[in-house]
Amino acid sequence: MNAPAEPYPAKVVSPARVCDLPAQERPRELMTRVGAAGLSDAALLALILRAGCRGVSVVDLARDLLKQYGSLTALAETSVADLQRIKGIKLVKAQMLKAALELARRMRDEQMTRTAIRTPEDVARLMRDEARDKPHELFWVLPLDNKHQLKRAPVAITSGLADASLAHPREVFCEAIRCYASAVVLAHNHPSGDPTPSPEDIRLTRELVAAGKIVGIRVLDHVILGRPDAGGRRDHCSVRESGLVEFMD
């Protein structure tokens, strides 16, 4: 499958109005010709934004947004207030962007609920993009039904809790109980890139496995996400496979 076409080649001087672009490079005409799947991220953003501002075309505005934030994921995490600090983005444009990206997130969550989690690789495949390049540790709970399918999208458990632990049984199992999960898989990232479990990771896993026995929700695994290295090391580690913690059968 070919990569989406990039309709806006870099130019020394960029037209300030879309109507000054060649017809084949205008976002709406381009979508009519190649369809939404054939458009670049910048072209799709330009269609949502609809218009630029004085001296800046909507094409350049879209490209500047992507350049500033680096990815659609980072853009989606930006608040409406922060978006409005960008030249050419006022309240209506900021709200339209947030609405479009929120719809994309909800659609992703709907698709996730049809995902079966049966191996550590399934967890890594699901969470890699979410965990990649996060500057601090985050902890997720993956609530599963009795067929090991996700009941809902992975739930991020905030750090900095009352006891300064990465996660607390109260927060972990509150989410699992809320969606009537039969089991959970735990996941968190190591910003260092090394997925080797730390002594704290092992202690926390044992604590959560024990808590799961009390509330009747099985903890199936704790997968730690890192990054692959030049030696071919995997970018994740399963605490269950490591044999360092005894899990419920």
Write out pLDDT tens, residues 223-243.
999 987 766 678 999 999 999
Looking at residue 25, the DSSP 8-state letter turns out to be G
Q: How far is CA 124 from CA 78, 84, 121, 129, 236, in A?
A: 25, 35, 5, 9, 7
* Angstrom distance (rounded) from CA 122 to CA 141: 14
Strand, helix or coil for residue 32: helix
Per the model's pLDDT, the better-predicted residue between 71 and 201 turns out to be 201
Query: φ and ψ at 66, to 5 degrees?
Result: -65, -40
226 neighbors 189 (Cβ within 8 angstroms): yes
Query: φ and ψ at 20, to 5 degrees?
Result: -85, -10
Q: Provide, rounded to the nearest whole percent, the portion of the chain with pLDDT above 70.
A: 83
For the four alpha carbons of 155, 167, 132 and 118, in that order, the dihedral sign comes to negative
Quick one: fold of 18-111?
A: DNA polymerase; domain 1 (1.10.150)
Please list the residue range(s) of the chain that carry CATH number 3.40.140.10: 113-242
Please list the residue range(s) of the chain that carry CATH number 1.10.150.20: 18-111
Per the model's pLDDT, the better-predicted residue between 139 and 160 turns out to be 139
pTM, two decimals, is 0.61
**What count of residues does the chain have?**
249
Architecture of domain 113-242 in this structure? 3-Layer(aba) Sandwich (3.40)
186 neighbors 131 (Cβ within 8 angstroms): no
* Angstrom distance (rounded) from CA 1 to CA 77: 29
